[in-house]
Amino acid sequence: MSRQQRQALDEMLRHGPLDLGGDVAQQRALFHDMMTSIPLPPDVSTTEGELGGVPVVTVETPEIGPATVLLYLHGGAYAIGSAADAAGLAAEVSRRTGARAVCVDYRLAPEHPFPAAVDDALAVYGALLDAGVRSSDIAFVGESAGGGLVAAALVAAKDAGLPQPASAAVFSPWADLSVSGDSAVGKAAVDASLTAEGLRIRARDYLRDTDPTTPHASPVFADLTGVAPLFIQVGSYEILLDDAVRLAARAAAHDVHVELQVWPEVPHVFQAFAAMLDEGAAALDAAGAFIRARWNEGGTDADVSGEAVPADATSWTTE
């Protein structure tokens, strides 16, 4: 793994135009330009559609299986980003799992505050189930706010009496909208992408008068008993480091199979930079292996035997 790669990425992010707490319309346009600046590989196809009344973009890569599905939730602090913007990263997960990715274009704040995003995620999940896709053939995947939304959707599905998917994998989850983790301050100097103030602005847009510790908004405060096996990755250079660590600890306390990987000196959602960062590709390989193993086991919480833990990641697992 190259220190030069990490330094180059840090410079690129620090000098980029994106300001998470800035004007929403402007930041949406900037984020879209950033996420789509590199064209999708020619063997990736995207199809716009609708499931459960919610717009979706289905991403397909070669050699996908006929049954398995990734329900993918994009990042953007609940106010920016789109299903189309997430297609590149969703395609990388699709390649590693052999499953098509259904990217959910959930409604954004401030126009559509909480619980609109949770409702839309559940509507798409319910539509997949109604279409005959088995819950044991579905994995939830998300990054940043989408990662927190994945965990919130697992809790909301449980509360709604829906079956859990086979597994869930989240990258750099924003799982505490009160922004109360110690790393919000302790990692501020090394985080090249996010600021605590920017997150608080977007949290107010999404929550309005809702208590930020509401479980369907901030799953670090939720009862996670009975949710799907959970795979969490985060970089050590993130103000959201504590969100990932506390989400994993919460899951472990509630007897959920959880695997946490902390990758040193890499930024927020470093998996999205796999083309220029060796750690990103290795992390995606590990996430894909976790998802495939859960499908092979029919969604049980048995151990993933024979899967190597990446050497440069700090990792722990509960059974």
The residues annotated as belonging to the active site are 144, 238, 268
Coil/strand/helix, residue 141: strand
Query: What's the half-sphere exposure (Cβ side, CA atoms, 13 Å) at 95?
Result: 15
Closest CA to 169 of 79, 99, 78, 65: 99
Residue type, 273: F
Nearest alpha carbon to residue 167 among 143, 132, 136: 136
Sheet holding 138-143, edge to edge: 45-51, 54-60, 100-104, 69-73, 138-143, 167-171, 230-235, 258-263, 314-318
What distance in Å separates the CA atoms of residue 13 and residue 30, rounded to the nearest whole number? Answer: 13
**Strand 100-104, strand 54-60: pairing:** antiparallel
DSSP lists the bridge partners of residue 169 as: 141, 231
The DSSP output letter for 283 is: H
Cα dist. 55→52, 95, 131, 209, 287 in Å?
8, 23, 16, 27, 26
Q: Give the Cα separation of 186 and 11 in Å (integer).
A: 20
Q: Tokens for 255, please give them.
A: 């007897």
